[in-house]
Amino acid sequence: MQKSDLSLFLDLSNIPTTSFYENLVSDFIKSKLKEYDLSFSEDKWGNIEVILSGETEKEVVYISHMDHPGFEIVDKIGDNLYKAKTLGGLPKLCDKENSKVKIISGNDHYEGKLIPLDDPNSDKFRFVNSDKWLNKEFVLVQIEGKELDYPLPVVFDLPSPIIHENEIITPVADDLAGCALILETLRTLKNIKMKYSIRAIFSRAEEVGLLGARLIAKSNRISKESIIVSIETSSELPGAISGSGPIIRTGDRATTFDNSGEIILLSAVKELIREDSDFKFQRQLMDLGGCEATAFSAFNYRVTGISLPLINWHNANEQGSVEPERISITDYQNALNIMTKVGNLDIVENNEYYKSLIEIPDEAQRLELDGRNNARS
């Protein structure tokens, strides 16, 4: 089985990123693709695509997003004090607890802290009455002794990624874990003869409305016959536990997914279990949030997903304070094995997958009612 040394993800997840400011992550990904001698394209919205051609026109599309929740400085309020717009779901207490942040300017960053901003429109924002999520559109950022040219991105100032026992503890798992998994999959499959073609997409601005994915889906540049697989992280749920394997995602908060995509992933899992009977995976509808599969589903694509159960999703612990995100190494490794195993599969057809159900056994004839039973009914 494929086994990662995790160095790629550790390096990638130490790069600051938020919606509309994915440039540092994008540069890292493009540098790795060049290192792997893989051709790629970048569309007018900044989404990156790679295609590994298979022997058939059947295509599986892996998509992950390059952004993470954060803030954007949009105005100056006073000396050393700036107004920042929230980008995505953020921990409820991050401003009240004066969480440390980094203001990113090119390759430089400056240290600051968050301060609450009284916002009369809070009751109209998306997280009304939430116990965990910040219900404010704006916060204040305080930075000492530095005049800033804005707009500028702001991210939480958290320790660099580390491995602790069977966990990776990192500032950003959502969704740089997905990006790292796709990069490792491309590196593994690039010289392998495959039945399926594999398309990889690294998208932008997922955290603020699935924007990159929606633009790609609306463009119709991907065949409707393709299977879209969202590779991402999502909060732990009952039945979706960190360390118990990656999740074959059957749906999210907005929709249920397509079975024809899921059976490809389940076929890969079946092969992996033949190789190792202890191979771990889970199957679950993850309904706390949306993902890019939903964006494609809205445009009538067939979709499914692989999700890593995430602790401290969006850097929020159970109390709503800021903490690093955590994922299981087992879950990461097994997700990588599912993704690469798809490259070794023969084409999976629905009729073949369900053959044992479609072919009715002779014993079923015992259910036929004879004349007397029909008469009594």
* CATH class label, 7-68+160-353: alpha beta
What is the predicted pLDDT for the residue at 94? Answer: 97
Q: What is the pLDDT along the chain (377 residues), one digit of tens a residue?
A: 888 989 999 999 999 999 999 999 999 999 999 999 999 999 999 999 999 999 999 999 999 999 999 999 999 999 999 999 999 999 999 999 999 999 999 889 999 999 999 877 655 666 666 788 999 999 999 998 888 999 999 999 999 999 999 999 999 999 999 999 999 999 999 999 999 999 999 999 999 999 999 999 999 999 999 999 999 999 999 989 999 999 999 998 888 998 999 999 999 999 999 999 999 999 999 888 889 999 999 999 999 999 999 999 999 999 999 999 999 999 999 999 999 999 999 988 877 778 888 889 999 989 988 655 554 54
Contacts of 149 (CB under 8 A, 6+ apart): 105
Q: Is 60 helix (H, G, I), strand (E, B) or coil?
A: strand
The candidate with the shortest Cα–Cα distance to 47, out of 61, 64, 35, 32, is 64
- Other CB atoms within a 10 A radius of the CB of residue 298 amount to 16
CA 98/CA 258 separation, integer angstroms: 43
In the beta sheet, which residues pair with residue 138? 85
CA 45/CA 213 separation, integer angstroms: 10
Give 95's DSSP letter.
Answer: T
Start-end of CATH 3.40.630.10 domains in the chain: 7-68+160-353
Contacts of 278 (CB under 8 A, 6+ apart): none
The arrangement of secondary structure in 70-156, i.e. its CATH architecture, is Beta Barrel (2.40)
Start-end of CATH 2.40.30 domains in the chain: 70-156
